[in-house]
Each structure stands twice: as structure tokens, then as C-alpha cells.
């Protein structure tokens, strides 16, 4: 199979250890994105955190520094979390895809972000699922379409599904035919882990109506914050 699965640690003990997962992810060659990127950018933050935030993929600065959400989108996210009353100690941040995908500007040095395709999202998903199994957060916040699709499938739409608590699908059946059938059926109040979708902080940075977009992001994060056990 062409995905991250063969690169995950072999033993259940190591798979249940964030540090072991992180070390293993550093050597992942589960899709072609490792070839041009600087390094794997694994999740970071509080292992006891009750909220896991899932972005799309590392950006230019994240790729250089090896940490998620340390560039402009990360600064905006930090501000929004603070405004929503969510403490850093309650947060783990990661991405649906763990290598930076980019193209070079013709003749230039600038690296332009490219959205990962469905194959790359699927290939990288074992890392995200492994992180979530260990963390067992109260709420998984998906930031934008890529993260939403990674966990809820290709029919996910931010505009339709943002801002309300949904059940987190069973991590063991995500990506299988069983998962497609389950989607949307369950009562979110009964799920151990909820999922809340919102816009990606980069979408705020790009928007014309930046203030309204930012306010919407903060509102959504407040809903996630209120759902903490």
C-alpha cells in the first residue's frame, strides 16, 4: 500500500506513545511529499489537552521550523483561541498532512502552498488517527476543508457543517465503507469525542471581510470551548 501505515511503529505500545509516533513520522515516506519538503511536521502541544486542532498541512515557516502553526496562520489562530477563552494548555495542534506541499514560483524563490490531493490526505491519515487515539480529546476542531475531509469524507463542506458539534466518527473505521454509512446518523451528545468544524485561519488572512471571518472563527471556537467535559 502507498500510505503511511508501514512507517508507523510496529508494536501497540509504541503506537500508544506520542514520542515514538513522532520519531517514526520523521522517517515517513508514505507518499511523495517527503521528497521536496524539509521535514515532517508532527503535532505539538499538551498531551493532556482536551482540544485537538487539525489544520491542513504545514506552511512555509512550519516546514522550516518543524512545528505546526508557527507562521502567520498560527499567530491568528493563537489570538482567536485566546479570544475564545481556550487555554494553550488545553490544546494540541496538528495537521491532516504532515509534509509541506508547494510549487516554486516561476523563476522565483518563493514556495507557493498547494492543497494536498485526496491520495496524499488518505496516505497521511494513519498519523492523524494514531494521534487522536492517544489524545482522546473531548473535542476535535477541524480547521478548513482538508482536515474536514480527512475525518468526515469527501462530501464534507465547511460552509454546511461548521459551527455545530458533530460526533467524531469511529477512528477504527474512517475511510472504510462502514464509515460512509454511519455519517450523520449519531446523536453528537452521546459521542465521547465531538467534532467541530470551522474555517481555516489562512482563509481569514486571505478574506476581504477579514473582521467578519475572524469573528466567525472565534464564535466557532467558543462552541468548542463550551463542549469541554
Residues that bind ligand SF4 (CB under 6 A): 4, 25, 28-31, 33-34, 40, 97-99, 120, 123-124, 127
43 binds ligand URA (CB under 6 A): no
Can you list the positions of beta strands (E) in 83-218? Answer: 91-95, 102-104, 111-113, 139-143, 165-167, 194-198
Alpha-carbon gap, residue 57 to 134, rounded angstroms: 20
34 binds, among ligand URA, ligand SF4, none (CB under 5 to 8 A by kind): ligand SF4
Q: List Cβ neighbours of 11 (8 Å cut-off, separation of 6 or more).
A: none
Contacts to ligand URA from residues 180-219, by CB under 6 A: 202
97 binds, among ligand URA, ligand SF4, none (CB under 5 to 8 A by kind): ligand SF4
Tell the smallest beta-carbon distance from residue 209 to ligand URA (Å). Answer: 20
Closest CA to 201 of 222, 180, 186, 216: 216
| CB nearer to ligand URA: pick between 15 and 113 | 113
55 binds ligand URA (CB under 6 A): yes
| CB nearer to ligand URA: pick between 52 and 73 | 73
Tell the smallest beta-carbon distance from residue 123 to ligand SF4 (Å). Answer: 4
62 binds ligand URA (CB under 6 A): yes
CA 94 to chain centre: 5
56 binds ligand URA (CB under 6 A): yes
Interface stretch with ligand URA, choices 15-23, 52-60, 117-125, 205-213 (CB under 6 A): 52-60
Alpha-carbon gap, residue 210 to 206, rounded angstroms: 8
25 binds, among ligand SF4, ligand URA, none (CB under 5 to 8 A by kind): ligand SF4
Closest-by-Cβ residue to ligand URA is: 55
Alpha-carbon gap, residue 133 to 136, rounded angstroms: 6
Contact between 199 and 176 under an 8 Å Cβ cutoff? The reply is: no
Q: How far is CA 92 from CA 54, 137, 160, 195, 206, in A?
A: 9, 9, 25, 14, 25
| CB nearer to ligand SF4: pick between 40 and 198 | 40
Contact between 219 and 161 under an 8 Å Cβ cutoff? The reply is: no
CA 18 to chain centre: 16
Contacts to ligand URA from residues 134-153, by CB under 6 A: none
Question: Which residues of this chain interact with ligand URA, rule CB under 6 A?
Answer: 55-59, 62, 68-69, 71, 73-74, 95, 202
Amino acid at each position: 500500500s502507498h500510505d503511511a501505515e508501514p512507517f508507523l511503529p510496529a508494536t501497540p505500545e509504541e503506537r500508544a506513545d506520542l514520542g515514538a509516533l513522532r520519531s517514526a513520522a520523521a522517517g515517513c515516506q508514505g507518499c511523495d511529499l517527503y521528497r521536496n519538503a524539509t521535514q515532517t511536521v508532527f503535532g505539538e502541544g499538551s498531551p493532556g489537552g482536551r482540544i485537538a486542532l487539525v489544520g491542513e498541512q504545514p506552511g512555509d515557516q512550519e516546514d522550516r521550523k518543524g512545528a505546526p502553526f508557527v507562521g502567520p496562520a498560527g499567530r491568528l489562530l493563537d489570538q482567536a483561541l485566546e479570544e475564545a477563552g481556550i487555554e494553550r494548555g488545553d490544546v494540541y495542534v496538528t495537521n491532516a498532512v504532515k509534509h509541506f506541499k508547494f510549487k516554486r514560483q516561476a523563476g522565483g524563490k518563493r514556495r507557493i502552498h498547494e492543497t494536498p490531493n485526496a491520495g496524499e490526505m488518505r496516505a497521511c491519515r494513519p498519523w492523524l488517527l494514531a494521534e487522536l487515539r492517544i489524545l482522546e480529546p473531548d473535542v476535535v476542531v477541524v480547521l478548513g476543508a482538508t482536515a474536514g475531509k480527512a475525518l468526515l469524507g469527501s462530501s464534507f463542506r465547511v460552509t454546511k457543517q461548521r459551527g455545530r458539534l458533530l460526533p467524531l466518527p469511529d477512528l477504527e473505521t474512517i475511510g472504510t465503507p462502514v464509515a460512509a454509512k454511519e455519517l450523520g446518523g449519531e446523536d453528537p451528545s452521546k459521542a465521547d469525542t465531538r467534532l467541530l468544524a470551522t474555517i481555516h485561519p489562512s482563509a481569514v488572512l486571505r478574506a476581504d471581510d477579514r473582521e467578519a471571518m475572524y469573528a466567525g472563527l472565534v464564535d466557532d471556537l467558543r462552541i468548542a470551548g463550551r463542549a469541554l467535559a
